[in-house]
């Protein structure tokens, strides 16, 4: 285990695939070089130059797992009761409506939708961001943002400072 893996602030995170920005295919190494991988707790997230983490499509978290900002201040978490929550400074700042007692996992789909699924893998809540093909950013300022393909925000938790 490298020092970077050992010292990573990622805690209780689900295994994740490394993130490659969609534009990196078009722009080549210039964009790819601006992204570094931080590994920890069996998870991989891409750290942006600002130090915030980006979650790529195809990743998920289930009960008692979270995606956490670099500074540890913000987490997108699926609680033990199945609620999808944004925890900011140790307090619940936002909860996805209708997920309490129903959610099992939060999935960031390949098409860019953030969805909470139940044990039967049926959707119980969606951010409504399908077909945006972007990434999720858990920000140091307390906000969770779903970005579209070109980096435009298409949904956010409105929990920033």
The helix (H) or strand (E) run that includes residue 114 is strand 114-117
More confident residue, 43 or 38: 43
What percentage of the chain reaches a pLDDT higher than 90?
65
Q: Torsions phi, psi of 36, nearest 5?
A: -120, 150
Helix runs in 8-116, H state only: 24-27, 29-32
Using the predicted structure, report yes or no on whether residue 48 has a pLDDT greater than 70.
Answer: no
CA atoms within 13 A on the CB side of 100: 3
Give the C-alpha separation, 100 to 20, whole Å: 32
Quote the pTM value.
0.70
Average pLDDT over residues 128-132: 93
Question: What mean pLDDT is reported for the chain?
Answer: 77
- Lowest mean pLDDT, pick from 2-11, 80-89, 109-118, 125-134: 2-11
Q: What local confidence, expressed as pLDDT, does residue 16 receive? A: 47
31/63: higher pLDDT? 63
Q: Give me 63's structure tokens.
A: 């009960």
**pLDDT exceeds cutoff 70 at 113:** yes
The CATH architecture of the domain made up of 3-156 is Orthogonal Prism (2.90)
Strand partners, 143: none
Q: How far is CA 122 from CA 74, 81, 104, in A?
A: 27, 17, 10
pLDDT band at 92 (very low <50, low <70, confident <90, very high): very high
Dihedrals phi, psi of 60, to nearest 5 degrees:
-150, 160
pLDDT beyond 90 at 44:
no
pLDDT (mean) for 90-117: 96
Q: Does pLDDT of 141 surpass 70? A: yes
């Amino acid at each position: 285990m490298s020092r970077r893996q050992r010292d990573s602030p990622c805690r209780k995170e689900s295994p994740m695939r490394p993130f490659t920005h969609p534009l990196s295919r078009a722009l080549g190494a210039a964009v790819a070089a601006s992204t570094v991988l931080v590994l920890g707790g069996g998870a991989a997230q891409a750290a942006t130059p600002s130090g915030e983490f980006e979650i790529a499509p195809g990743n998920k978290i289930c009960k008692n797992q979270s995606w956490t900002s670099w500074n540890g201040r913000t987490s997108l978490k699926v609680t033990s009761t199945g609620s999808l929550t944004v925890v900011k400074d140790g307090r619940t700042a936002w909860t996805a409506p209708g997920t309490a007692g129903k959610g099992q996992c939060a999935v960031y789909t390949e098409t860019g939708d953030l969805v909470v699924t139940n044990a039967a893998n049926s959707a119980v809540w969606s951010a409504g961001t399908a077909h945006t093909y972007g990434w999720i950013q858990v920000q140091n300022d307390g906000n969770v943002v779903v970005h579209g393909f070109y980096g435009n925000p298409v949904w956010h938790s409105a929990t920033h400072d």
